[in-house]
Structure 1
Amino acid sequence: MTEKAFITSEILKWARETAGISVEDAAKKVLVSPERFLTWENGNDYPTIRQAKILAKSYRRPFSIFFLPEIPKDFQPLQDYRRDDSQKLDTASLFIIRDVQEKQNWISELFEEIGENKLPFVGKYTPNDNPAVVAKDILDTLKISPANYKKTPINEWIEKAELAGIFISRTSYLHSRLVLDKDLIQGFAISDKYAPFVFVNSKNWKAPQLFTLVHELAHIWIAKSGISNEIDIDFTNNPISKFHPVELFCNQVAANALMPHEIIIQLGNETFDSTQKIFKQAKELGISSFALLVRALNLNLISQSKYKSLKEDAQDEFEKFLEREKIKKEKQKERKNGPDTYLLRLNKNSKLFTRIVMDSFNNGSLSPSIASNLLNTQINNFQKFEKLLA
């Protein structure tokens, strides 16, 4: 007779609900009816050990957690700064948040234990401060000059942020069946004096990713951990705005940091003579043409009528760009020469986090099993990370 797993039914239900998985989908994973599955969650019957292990893997929870006498303390949910009518976060979103929270919790406890200094910029400002002042402090702290990028803008921002002690995680999926939806979650920030983390959904193209990154950095500077989506350059203080006040503020900070007043003013009116010139300038700044147009409008460099005209032209150019990108990706699939698996994993873990975990493992202060779990990579493949980091 198959051995039963005498689990705690309340924990089985909690694990499913915190994974955002329906009873029907959970039941399919273990090939039983929803009615039979509910008998396990109600405590009237028990799954087999094999079935319980399958569920633990599906819920991304340790198998042993099912046998605890009561529901364990879980990570506190992040503040949801998304619109009130936003769709409920799906399983992929919940899992990436939990994954980053686990990493953040581990590194924060480590830093506090070994006596690392707290980061002075975390919570340095509030949403009542001037967004331009906060933006300048971010630029000064990270030593970034949007007028003089040494690398592609997003790469420079990530590198400088991690040099300052901010962990940047960037991915578009957990695995092939759990892909992130950019309409559900574009990014989130975990504010912490020792180890602040920023996550960016890389499902989007580079310009929105950069705006999201800087938006989330603003969350760190005002110590407001939370989830964002529909991040928009249109940061007008309209009373009926769809954005949460914190999101409006962080959008303003991001716009001021990526497009400082003095830089945009120096562009002059001639930059806005054609969409080609706008596109070229936007590319140099690492932003979208739309973002540059809105910024120019708000600085009175262009009129409302010219803005509308240029925006329509920019929309046409953007659609052509998307079509070119689609064709490029299709060709990459045909040639099977997509991004390196370990580079994608390195970006997901955060380069800074990966380096610290590997250093701890190499000096013997971290066990192989914990190091492997933290980086989601087998120990014998750590050398691939070392090559990429070098």
Structure 2
Amino acid sequence: MADKAPITPQVLRWARLTAKFSIEIAATKVKVAAEKLDEWENGISQPTIVQAQSLAKLYKRPFAILFLPNIPTDFQPLQDYRKNADELSTASIFIIREIQERQAWISEFYQENGEAPLPFVGKFSIRDSSDTVAADILKTLEIRSPYYQTSNPVKEWVDKAEAKGVFISRSSFIHSRMKFDSDEIKGFAIADEYAPFIFVNTEDWKAPQLFTLVHELAHIWIGQSGVSNESDLELKLKHQIHQVEAFCNEVAAAALMQNESMNRLNRNVFKSQVELFTTAKNWGVSSFALLVRALHMNLISTQEYNNSKAQADSAYKQYLVREEAKRESQKKDTDGGPSYYQLQLNKVSPHFTRFVLEAYRSGMIPPTQASSLLNVKTNNFPKLEKYLSTQA
């Protein structure tokens, strides 16, 4: 007979509820009857060790937590700045908790080792000028937006931000069967003065990703942690979203489409869809964002904006179709797309990965902890390091 696991029933139930699984779905996932899982949660019977391990894995909890005598104090939920948002899905909850755990660990590590706090975290507030905050972000990260050094503005921003101590996680999934919804969550920020973390949902296309990234950086600069799903810049929507979100949108727009650069643009750019699209793409933003920014700065009239917006929407939809076809073609050419290690590196954060590997190599943390933090087996660290070296 298989050994039984003396788990704590109320902890098992708590783990399921906080993972947002119904008892029926959870039971199906671990291949037991819902009635049996209900028995385990009520202390009538006990799961086997293998079954308990399967449940811990499903709920994204350490196996040992199921044996605690009482329900543990969990991470506090992040401030929800999303507009008209329903409850977060299981995938979103998992990625928030996963990053909170990494963030808490490395922040504590830095503090215990006497690291100095980062001066830009919480440096400003929403009472400051959005242009001032945007300028400070660009100056601190040493970014010459919108004139980038590479054809990949997102990576350029990520590299610059991580070099200054911000950890950036980018992913579109927890695993292949649990993906993020870009309408539900575009990103979130943890504004810790020792180890600030940002998550960007890569389910979005490149231009929205870049805007989300800079929006979340604004959250760090004003010291406001939170979850975001709204990056609409239209004036009519400004008063429908949280004032913190509206401010961070303004900062992102000011950083990506600076006043000086906007004023230098030839006005014909806004009359030609080809020029508008080309300029927006070079700047790493959408045609729509560029139009809204021009409207806000009175570079175009409301009538010109409305006329161009309709055309830009149509052109952007066609662009998305072409990009989707290109992405599908690339998947076929590369046997399924980017390497697992590359995806894992982006998801965990190159900066965090590099730090953990160095701590592991120097003996500061044990192999099991390093493996858990990176979600990669230690015997596969050389492959992970190979991909990390390509990020330099």
Does the C-alpha gap of structure 1 residues 352 and 282 become closer, same or farther in structure 2, counting only changes over 3 Å?
A: same
Q: In structure 2, give the amino acid aligned to 1:257.
A: A
SS at match of 1:26: helix
How far apart are 1:308 and its partner, in Å? 1.0
Corresponding residue for residue 41 of structure 2: 41
Q: Which amino acid aligns with 1:171?
A: S
C-alpha contact (below 8 Å) 2:172/2:203 kept by paired residues: yes
Residue equivalent to 1:14:
14
Counterparts of 2:371 and 2:37 in 1: how far apart (Å)? 33
Q: Give runs of aligned pairs for residues 217-228 of structure 1, distance below 5 A.
A: 217-228=217-228
Q: Aligned in 2, Cα 1:60/1:262: closer, same or farther, shift over 3 Å?
A: same
Q: Deviations over 1:202-235 (max 9, x none)?
A: 1111000000000000000111111011222225
**Post-superposition shift, 1:251?**
0.5
Q: Could you tell me whether the CA contact under 8 Å between 1:167 and 1:353 is conserved in 2?
A: yes
Aligned residue in 2 for 1:66: 66
1:24 corresponds in structure 2 to 24
Give the secondary structure class of the aligned counterpart of 1:198.
Answer: strand
Q: Is the 8 A contact 1:170 1:200 kept in 2?
A: yes
Identity level (%) = 54
Question: What is aligned with 2:343?
Answer: 344
- Equivalent position of 1:134 in the other structure: 133
CA distance in 2, matches of 1:179, 1:337: 16
What is the match of residue 86 of structure 2? 87
User: Residue by residue, what CA displacement relative to the aligned partner does 1:24-75 show, whole Å, maximum 9, x if unpaired?
Assistant: 1011123333333223222333223222121111011122211110011221
CA apart distance, 1:5: 2.3
Could you say what secondary structure the match of 1:300 adopts? coil
Using the TM superposition, give the Cα deviation of residue 23 of structure 1 relative to its aligned residue in structure 2, in angstroms: 1.1
Is 2:186–2:212's contact at 8 Å kept on the other side of the alignment? yes
Partner of 1:106: 105
User: Match of 1:362?
Assistant: 361
Choose 39-48 or 86-95, whichever is displaced more.
39-48
Residue 277 of structure 1 aligns with which residue? 275
Moved beyond 4 Å, runs of 4+ = 235-238
Quickly say closer, same or farther: Cα 1:277–1:20, change in 2 above 3 A: same
Could you report, residue by residue, the CA deviation over 1:254-280 in whole angstroms, capped at 9, with x for unpaired residues? 111111111101103121121110111
Q: Following TM superposition, by how much is the alpha carbon of 1:160 offset from its aligned partner in structure 2, in angstroms?
A: 0.7
Distance 1:310 1:119, change over 3 A: same
Q: Distance in 1 between matches of 2:191 and 2:49?
A: 39
Task: Normalising by structure 2, report the TM-score.
Answer: 0.95
Aligned-pair distance for 1:238? 4.6
C-alpha distance in 1, partners of 2:387/2:168? 16
From the superposition, tell whether residues 383 and 49 of structure 1 become closer, same or farther in structure 2 (CA, over 3 Å).
closer
CA distance in 2, matches of 1:211, 1:122: 19
SS of 1:188's partner is: strand
The unaligned stretches of length 5 or more in structure 2 are: none
1:199 counterpart SS class: strand
Deviation at 1:384, TM superposition (A): 2.1
SS of the residue 2:328 aligns to: helix
Greater mean alpha carbon deviation, residues 35-44 or residues 165-174: 35-44
Shift, 1:366, TM fit = 1.4
1:202 aligned residue: 202
Aligned counterparts of 2:199 and 2:47: Cα–Cα separation in 1:
36
Measure the CA separation in 2 of the matches of 1:269 and 1:262.
Answer: 14
Cα deviation, residue 337, structure 1: 4.8
CA distance in 2, matches of 1:51, 1:82: 37
Q: Which residue of 2 aligns with 1:266?
A: 264
**Matches of 1:382 and 1:46 in 2, distance apart?**
37
Structure 2 residue aligned with 1:160 = 160
> What is the deviation of 1:385?
2.6
Structure 2 contact 238–246 (Cα < 8 Å) conserved:
no
Tell me which of 311, 314, 317 is aligned to 2:312.
314
Contact 2:146 2:284 in 1 (8 A): no
2-side partners of 1:61 and 1:237: how far apart?
39
**Where does residue 387 of structure 2 map in the other structure?**
388
1:253 maps to amino acid? V
* Unmatched segments (≥5 aa) in structure 1: none
Q: Which position in structure 1 is the counterpart of 2:114?
A: 115
Q: Which residue does the alignment assign to 2:5?
A: 5
Tell me the amino acid that sits aligned with residue 9 of structure 1: P
Contact 2:147-2:283 within 8 A present in 1 as well: no
Structure 1 match to 2:285 = 287
Cα pair 1:235 1:252 within 8 Å, conserved: no
Letter aligned with residue 225 of structure 1: S
**8 Å Cα contact 1:233-1:294 kept in structure 2:** yes
Change (3 A) 1:343 1:188: same
Alpha-carbon RMSD: 1.5
Contact 1:235 1:248 in 2 (8 A): no
1:295 & 1:331 partners in 2: Cα distance?
A: 34
Moved more, 327-336 or 21-30: 327-336
Deviations 1:331-352 (A, max 9, x none): 2333325112211111111111
Structure-2 separation of matches of 1:246 and 1:43: 46
Secondary structure at 2:310's aligned position in 1? helix
Q: Distance in 1 between matches of 2:238 and 2:201?
A: 27
* Greater mean deviation of Cα atoms: 138-147 or 2-11: 2-11
Question: Aligned equivalents of 2:330 and 2:67: distance in 1?
Answer: 46
